[in-house]
A and B are shown apart, each in its own frame.
Chain A
């Protein structure tokens, strides 16, 4: 069985500040991990994915995430927030089952 926990349903940062969105997973098999972003009234867009090739994964729009097996974490970061980053972010895990999503974290960026 697999599960995802996203700490913080809402995160607020100032423009230019560091973005840190937390994701912890549980998986009985080696996991594949994803971060998706959803803008209002749109579907999900893939930001990045971890497939065991490298623990630090770089994605689109300046985002990256680091896989830490010992901490069962896959936190998403961006060095400098931009107003256009305001959206909802979902962490997801799979391995031998369909994608399991976290509840999502809404990111607000304050000017």
Chain B
């Protein structure tokens, strides 16, 4: 079974631009979560989608948004990029939604490394 895939793997943007990252979950998984990883803040939860609905949202500004499609693929968008948005963005998928069953294991993709200049 193929793992979680993320595209693109690397991205360079300039301040003020917007960016869209894509995540394809493991086949059959209906939940997709997004995380931002930086050296200073570590791994921070962005949001979670389950069956095309946002279930949870982390403490990030409205410039960060996402969506999930009927095939469970997910995209996240960051508008008006800032230098501080430079990070590794990780996507994780699981069968069910977090909170419903803490046993749900999240499987992570390789990440998209975003550099904002």
Contact = CB atoms under 8 A, between A and B. Distances in A.
B93 to A, nearest CB: 11
B interface, how many residues as a size bin? 20 to 34
A42 B43 contact: no
Contacts of A101: 35, 42-43
Contacts of A34: 105
Contacts of A99: 33, 45, 92, 98, 106
Interface residues of A, number: 25
A41 B110 CA distance: 8
B64 interface: no
Interface in A15-34: 30-32, 34
Contacts of A30: 102
A90 interface: yes
Nearest to B43: A101
A44 B101 CA distance: 21
B25 interface: no
A52 B90 CA distance: 27
A104 B105 contact: no
Given A41-B113, A99-B106, 18 more contacts: A30-B102, A32-B102, A43-B90, A43-B108, A43-B109, A43-B110, A43-B111, A44-B108, A46-B106, A49-B103, A94-B98, A96-B99, A97-B56, A98-B33, A98-B98, A99-B92, A101-B42, A101-B43
Interface of B: 4, 33, 35, 42-43, 45, 48, 56, 58, 90, 92, 98-99, 102-103, 105-111, 113
Interface of A: 30-32, 34, 36, 41-46, 49, 51, 90, 94-104
5 contacts: A43-B108, A44-B108, A94-B102, A101-B42, A101-B43
